[in-house]
Amino acid sequence: MKTTEGWLTQEPPNAGFEEHMKTAEDQIARDLALVGRMSLVRSTPLEATLRAVSRGAGANVTRELALVAAGRVFVSRVAWAAAGLASLTCVVAMVFSLSVPRAAGWIAHEGHRGFRIELLEARRLWIGLFVVAVALAAHVGASGIAGRVLERRVARASDPVGVARRLGRRVDRWALAASIAGIAAFVVWFGMLEVVVGRARLVGLFSQSHEIVVIRRVMLGSSRAALFATVIGAAVVARCRDARWLRFTTWMVPAGIALGVVTCLIGAQFDVGPLVATILGAARPSGAMRIALAGMGTIAVFLATTGVVLRGRRRDEAALAVEPADPEPR
């Protein structure tokens, strides 16, 4: 009886194994929950997912996924081209509006406060936000139009993935040139206004002071040259986008940032201050120095912008290169 009672009080032989399995299942559940939370916090881009699936499953990517990736590239490129052109148009309009010669006392002779005077007396922050809003509106509108064009072209195509890829590559040059020119022109123009005008309003550029007149002419001449050089440079990069000398662009962003820092340091060293400092007689920088600093700043912004845009283009080209597993019907 003792033996029987002792046997009854002992633990089952597999109790330890079941406890171990239960602990392992809990650990796996916690790991999966952690992976899920990390996926929500940091999502993986679609093109990265497609490349991973292509490598891991022997190019076993469905036509639907390849079509989504190619369509996204086309819509994104059209939207960025529209936003870049809108930004560039706003900047060019502002530069040439300020370049129109005006006689002394023209503000008093206006007779009423029109849009031009309101713009000149507005804070530059609101002017910059207005340009950004115009670019965003163009981006959204172009996205909708491109999406509808893609739907119509794909719906009646025997090779939807091929059609989407051709559309994406057809707008590649325009998207690249417009993105670089629009972003660089916006940064260069408002950066130049911040350096030259400072906290004053744009109406201060039309002072009849000899120093202000010289600074205004130098600034507007430099800005027009910077815009022209930016557009030409963006067109050259877009035309030679697949050239060997543009394959390695990692150096562009650090080089642009470094050149921008050097430009700021030189400007501070030679006291190239805003209009307020010039009016008060605290700064008398030469026109040649202002032109040189404007050129250095333009090159810095162009390099950094080009490096970022080309990096995004490489991701788009990788998404377009993903091949579906099952052949398209002929």
Model pLDDT for residues 198-215, shown as the tens digit of each residue: 777 777 777 777 777 777
pLDDT for position 280? 54
Model confidence at 33: pLDDT above 80: no
In eight-state DSSP terms, residue 57 is T
Report d(CA 119, CA 194) in Å as an integer. 16
Mean pLDDT of 57-75: 76
What is the domain range of residue 180? 58-320
Q: pLDDT-derived band of residue 40, with 50, 70 and 90 as boundaries?
A: low
Model confidence at 100: pLDDT above 70: yes
Residue 2 lies in a domain: no
Least confident of 43-47, 63-67, 89-93, 285-289: 43-47
Residue 314 lies in a domain: yes
Q: What are the Cα distances from residue 219, in Å, to 99, 225, 261, 279?
A: 10, 10, 20, 16
Residue 296 one-letter amino acid: M
Q: pLDDT-derived band of residue 8, with 50, 70 and 90 as boundaries?
A: very low
Residue 289 lies in a domain: yes
Report d(CA 328, CA 154) in Å as an integer. 13
Least confident of 80-84, 213-217, 290-294: 213-217
pLDDT for position 106? 59
117 vs 172, which has greater pLDDT?
172
pLDDT for position 3? 47
pLDDT for position 146? 94
Residue 313 lies in a domain: yes
**Residue 42 half-sphere exposure, CB side, CA atoms within 13 Å?**
4
Report d(CA 227, CA 220) in Å as an integer. 10
Residue 215 lies in a domain: yes
Least confident of 55-59, 185-189, 210-214, 288-292: 55-59
Do 207 and 201 touch, CB atoms closer than 8 A? Answer: no
Q: pLDDT-derived band of residue 249, with 50, 70 and 90 as boundaries?
A: confident
Q: pLDDT-derived band of residue 300, with 50, 70 and 90 as boundaries?
A: very high
Do 318 and 49 touch, CB atoms closer than 8 A? Answer: no
Residue in 62, 131, 46 with CA at minimum distance from that of residue 315? 46
pLDDT for position 1? 45
Q: pLDDT-derived band of residue 102, with 50, 70 and 90 as boundaries?
A: low
Residue 3 lies in a domain: no
pLDDT for position 217? 85
Residue 198 lies in a domain: yes
Report d(CA 290, CA 294) in Å as an integer. 6
The number of helices, as runs of H, and strands, as runs of E, in the chain is 12, 0
pLDDT for position 235? 96
Model confidence at 325: pLDDT above 90: no
Rg over CA atoms, the chain: 30
Structure tokens at 49: 């997912």
Q: pLDDT digits over 126-173, tens only?
A: 889 999 999 999 999 999 999 999 999 988 888 888 889 999 999 999
Model confidence at 272: pLDDT above 70: no
Model confidence at 326: pLDDT above 80: no
Residue 37 lies in a domain: no
Report d(CA 263, CA 277) in Å as an integer. 19
Residue in 253, 264, 248, 325 with CA at minimum distance from that of residue 297? 264
Query: How many domains are contained in the chain?
Result: 1
Statement: the pTM of the whole predicted model exceeds 0.85? no
Average pLDDT for the chain: 78
42 vs 139, which has greater pLDDT?
139
Residue in 318, 319, 322 with CA at minimum distance from that of residue 54? 322
